[in-house]
Structure 1
Amino acid sequence: MFDFLKKKTEETALIETVEAQRDFTNSIGMEFLYIDGGEFMMGRNPQYNEGGDVESPEHPVKISGFWIAKYPVTQEQYFKLTRVNPSYFKNDKVEEENSRRHPVEQVSWFDAKGYVELINRYEGKTRFYALPTEAQWEYVAKAGGNTRFTFGDSEAMLDDYAVYEYTANVRTATVGTKQPNRLGIHDLMGNVWEWCEDDFFANYNSAPSDGSPRIGGAEGESFKVRRGGSYKTGYMCLRSSFRGYSRPDFISNDLGFRLVINGDPLH
C-alpha cells in the first residue's frame, strides 16, 4: 500500500541528490561548479564589428560537460602544494592584512602545468585536473549566449563584474570581489589573465570543433593562449572572445590561471 508514494519519494531524493552534486570542493579547498555540455559559437560575433582576424572565423564548437573552478588559483592554494609564492602582490602590496585569497601571479605556463601535475599527484589522479582549453574557457565566459562580455553587451556594467584598469587601484584583488557570471563563475574578466592549454594560432582556421586544445604545428610552437584580461587592461580585453598570448616561459604580475576537471570528482 502506498508503494507509489515511496517510489515518488525515492525519485525526488535522487533528483535532489543529482542537483546538489553540481558543486564540489577538493582536498585543498578549491571550489568547482559543473558546466553542462552544449554547442556554442566560438570567436567574435560579427554584429559587434570588433576583434579582427585573430578571433575569426566564428565557428560552432560542441563541448562535453566539465567542472571549472569558481575562482583563479589563489596564493594560498599555490603555496600549499609548491611551498613557494611567486606573486608580486603580497605583504605590503595589498590592502588586506594578507594576500592568501589574492590570485597567484608571476607564474609561467610551465609553472601552471607543473601545478596541474602536482595537484593530480597530491589527490592520486591521472590527467584529472587540467588547464582549461581555449574553447572551454570561452564557453564558460559566454555562459549560454554570444554577448560581448560574460554578463551582456554594455561596458557600463563592467565595474560590477571586473577588476580592471578603472576599478583595480593598480593591483590584484581578493578573488570573488566582483559579481559572478550567469554560471556562478568569478573573475573571468580582469584581476589576472588566465593561461589556457592551447598553443596560439593567428586565427581559427582548422580549429577543433569538439572543445579539445589546439596543439602543435609550426605556427603554434612559440606562444600559449591567455584569456580574460587583468587589473591592468582596458575593457576591450575583457570581451568574451578576446584572445591574448605569451611565450610559455613569460611571467607577469597580472598573469595566473584556474583549473578544470575533466572527469567525475564525485566517484
Structure 2
Amino acid sequence: MDSRTMVPVAAGQVALADRRTQRRWSVQLAPYEIAAHPVTQDEYAQVTGERPSAFSGGNLPVESVSWWAAVRFCNTLSEQDGRRPAYRLDDENVEWDRTADGYRLPTEAEWEYACRAGTTGPRYGPLDEIAWYRDNSGERPHDVGSRRPNAWGLHDMLGNVWNWCWDVYDAEVYGTYRVLRGGGWFDEHWSCRASVRRRSHPTFTVDDVGFRVARSAPR
C-alpha cells in the first residue's frame, strides 16, 4: 500500500457535532481525494528521512508526529510528486492555498464524511472487524490495512492511530489546538466513533497519533 493511493470522494454534505459544547453544524463539501490508509513509517522515512515512531515496523502507521510535522510532510511529498504545495509556511504561521493540487491534511468534515462512507451510525462496521483499539490491539499499533475497510475502501478510519486534521478545534478556548479524529490503539470503544472529536497542540507528539493525506480534486 502507498500513501499516494487516493480514493476519490464525490461532493456531499456532512453534519458535525461537538459533545462538549452541544454545538451542531453542517458542512458542504466539494469533491476531494483521501488516502486509503494512514501514512506508514516506511513512507514517512522515504519522504523525510526520519523515523520518529515509538514502535518499529515499516508498514505500521507513523506516530509520534506533530501536526506541524504532518504539514511539512504534505508539502515535501507534493514537491516530490511535482505538485504545488498546499501550505505556505512562515515560522509559526501556516496558510492553506486552496487552489493548490498538492497533498494536505483532510478537514475534519472531509475526514468524517469519508469515515462514514454513506453510513449514519457511530461506526461503519463491527468495531472488532474494522479497528485496532484497546480490547484487541495488545496495546500497540498494527500494520495499516489489516482490518476491514469501509464501503469506500478506506482502512483504519477508526482505531490504530488518531488522525490529525487541518482544523483549529476551538480558537476562543484552546487557541491553536488542532482537531484529531478516529481513535487509536490505546482507546476504549467509545472513542472509536465517527463523530468523536479530540484536540491537541500542534507541536504535541504521542505514540497513538498519526495522519493520512488528502488532496483537492482537480477543477
Q: Compute the TM-score of the two structures, normalised by the length of structure 1.
A: 0.72
User: Which residue does the alignment assign to 2:96?
Assistant: none
Distance in 1 (CA, whole Å) between partners of 2:195 and 2:74 is 25
Q: How big is the shift at 1:106? A: 0.5
User: Which residue does the alignment assign to 1:162?
Assistant: 131
Structure with more strand by fraction: 2
Where does 1:128-207 land on structure 2 (aligned, <5 Å)? Answer: 128-151=102-125, 157-201=126-170
Distance in 2 (CA, whole Å) between partners of 1:220 and 1:262 is 28
State the one-letter code of the partner of 2:141. Answer: T
Distance in 2 (CA, whole Å) between partners of 1:102 and 1:53 is 32
Q: Does 1:78 align with 2:36?
A: no
Q: How big is the shift at 1:220? A: 5.2
State the one-letter code of the partner of 2:160. Answer: N
Note the alpha carbon deviations across 1:157-191, whole angstroms, 9 max, x for none.
Answer: 21111100011011100001100011110001110
State the one-letter code of the partner of 2:38. Answer: P
Inter-CA distance 102–42: structure 2 relative to 1 (3 Å threshold): same
Largest Rg, 1 or 2 = 1
Distance in 2 (CA, whole Å) between partners of 1:108 and 1:193 is 12
Deviates more, 1:226-235 or 1:139-148: 139-148
Inter-CA distance 43–146: structure 2 relative to 1 (3 Å threshold): farther
Distance in 2 (CA, whole Å) between partners of 1:172 and 1:165 is 10
Distance in 1 (CA, whole Å) between partners of 2:20 and 2:209 is 24
Note the alpha carbon deviations across 1:194-247, whole angstroms, 9 max, x for none.
Answer: 10001112xxxxxxxxxxxxxxx5445231111101000011111111001111
* Structure 2 counterpart of 1:103, from 50, 57, 61: 61
User: Which residue does the alignment assign to 1:4?
Assistant: none
Distance in 2 (CA, whole Å) between partners of 1:136 and 1:220 is 22
5+ residue gaps, structure 1: 1-24, 45-51, 91-98, 152-156, 202-216
User: Which residue does the alignment assign to 2:6?
Assistant: 32
User: Which residue does the alignment assign to 2:210?
Assistant: 256
5+ residue gaps, structure 2: 87-101
Contact preservation (8 Å) 2:161, 2:183: yes
Note the alpha carbon deviations across 1:15-70, whole angstroms, 9 max, x for none.
Answer: xxxxxxxxxx9xx66211101111222226xxxxxxx234x333322111111000
Runs of 4+ residues over 4 Å off in structure 1: none
What CA RMSD, in Å, does the superposition of the two structures yield over aligned residues?
1.8
User: Which residue does the alignment assign to 1:232?
Assistant: 186
Distance in 2 (CA, whole Å) between partners of 1:31 and 1:253 is 24
Structure with more helix by fraction: 1
User: Which residue does the alignment assign to 1:117?
Assistant: 75
Distance in 2 (CA, whole Å) between partners of 1:219 and 1:124 is 39
User: Which residue does the alignment assign to 1:53?
Assistant: 20
Distance in 2 (CA, whole Å) between partners of 1:30 and 1:125 is 12
Q: Compute the TM-score of the two structures, normalised by the length of structure 2.
A: 0.87
Aligned residue for 2:34, secondary structure, equals: strand
Aligned residue for 2:15, secondary structure, equals: strand
Contact preservation (8 Å) 1:40, 1:144: no
State the one-letter code of the partner of 2:43. Answer: Q
* Structure 2 counterpart of 1:66, from 16, 20, 32: 32
Distance in 1 (CA, whole Å) between partners of 2:14 and 2:71 is 27
Distance in 1 (CA, whole Å) between partners of 2:211 and 2:23 is 26
What count of residue pairs does the alignment treat as equivalent? 203
